Every structure is written in C-alpha cells, then in structure tokens.
Amino acid sequence: MYIDIIPYEDYLPEWISNSMGKMVGDGAEGHVYEFGKSRIIKIASLGDGFMRSWGQIKNVLESLVRNPKPNVVQIYYYGILSTNPLVYFYVAEKLKPISWIQRDIIDNCIECDEVYYDVIELYDQRKISKNKKLLDTLEGLTNQKRDARHRFNIYDIHSGNIMKDSDNNFKLCDVGLVELKKKWSKKLNKEKKYKLMRV
C-alpha cells in the first residue's frame, strides 16, 4: 500500500508547524521545509511500498546524530509524528545549492555510485583543480560500500543529492537511501540509548 505524503500536515504539533518556512524540496517519501534560519525539517511517510523499514531508517538517523560525518548532512534530532500511518521527521543543517558546473562534474563522474576516473581525466584540468574538494567528497562517499571500516552503505549519489555547507564543504544532503551496515546496527542496538522524540 502506498501512503500519500501530503496529509501529514494533520499530524504536525504546533511547535513544528509554527517554525516551518517555505518548502525547499520534495521526493518519493516526503517534503523538506525551512526550519529557522540555519536548519531544515524533512517530514516523510513510510508505507508498505517502500523498501526500507522504520528500524533501518532510525538506525541511520541515530548513528548520524551521535557521530556526524563530514561528508553527510548533519542531523540534529528526529522523531515520530504518527505510527499509523508511520510519519516521521528529522531536523538537519540547511545546505546551499552547488553550481551547474559542479552538478555536471558529478553526473559525468558517477555511475552506479562509483567514481569513474577515466571520465574525470577527460575534463578540463582547470575545472578539476578548482573542484578537487568535490571529487574528494565523491570518492569518500563511494568508498563507504567497499571499505568495511565505514559505517554506511551510501546509495543514490547524484548531483541532486550533493549540496554545500556554510564553509563550502560538499555533503550528501539526502539520507533516504543510506544504510547502516549490519555490524554497526548490532552495536547501536546493544546500546539502546536512542535520541528518538515522540511528539
């Protein structure tokens, strides 16, 4: 069953709805709004048609709250607005859009969440030197799946999911298809100290 993402306004407490600004993004699971000057809030619904469970999403959010990653948007807190249907939210840092040149580099260098260096070599070297920080970020994100030392499998890396913070550091802005690896999920679940908010 697919749950429409629009009616979640019925589940918003006043402290959230009063702080929400204009909508700045939307996707398959939910909508993103401004939330104060330097933050955003994503409100999403989870139905039977989605591939991930709430447990998987909660583990990713909790791990990012406890241990922020420099190349992933910072998550401050999250919670459940409704259990039937399941509607959840998280509050994160507000990021800035990247340039069209940077979007072009990402879309030409990424395929199936891998960085293709033979494509990179074909680019104007001046563009590459100016965007080394971007390429380092892409390499760091794609290495997550191959390197067992990293906590996450990160999927869905494309130009629409990369933005910049106030210091011009590039970050993955959508954690919708981020997965916490089994070893790290077990470790997190043993601690049982979730910062989950029920509102």
Per-residue confidence (pLDDT) for residue 40, from 0 to 100: 96
Per-residue confidence (pLDDT) for residue 1, from 0 to 100: 27
DSSP summary character for residue 70: T
If DSSP codes are grouped into helix, strand and coil, which group holds residue 140? helix
Domains recognised in the chain with CATH numbers: 6-94+184-198 (3.30.200.20), 100-172 (no CATH)
Per-residue confidence (pLDDT) for residue 198, from 0 to 100: 46
153: burial class by Cβ within 10 Å (0-12, 13-18, 19+)?
A: middle
Radius of gyration of the chain (CA): 17
pTM over 0.85: no
Q: Is the dihedral of CA 96, 45, 53, 84 positive or negative?
A: positive
d(CA 133, CA 198): 38
d(CA 24, CA 97): 11
d(CA 7, CA 73): 26
Report cis status (omega within 30 of 0) of the bond before 97.
no
d(CA 143, CA 133): 15
Per-residue confidence (pLDDT) for residue 95, from 0 to 100: 96
Quickly tell me which residue has 């910072």 as its tokens.
Answer: 74
Q: Low-confidence residues of the chain, pLDDT below 50?
A: 1-6, 117-119, 122, 194, 197-199
Per-residue confidence (pLDDT) for residue 192, from 0 to 100: 52
C-beta separation of 73 from 173 below 8 A: yes
d(CA 39, CA 93): 4
d(CA 118, CA 102): 17
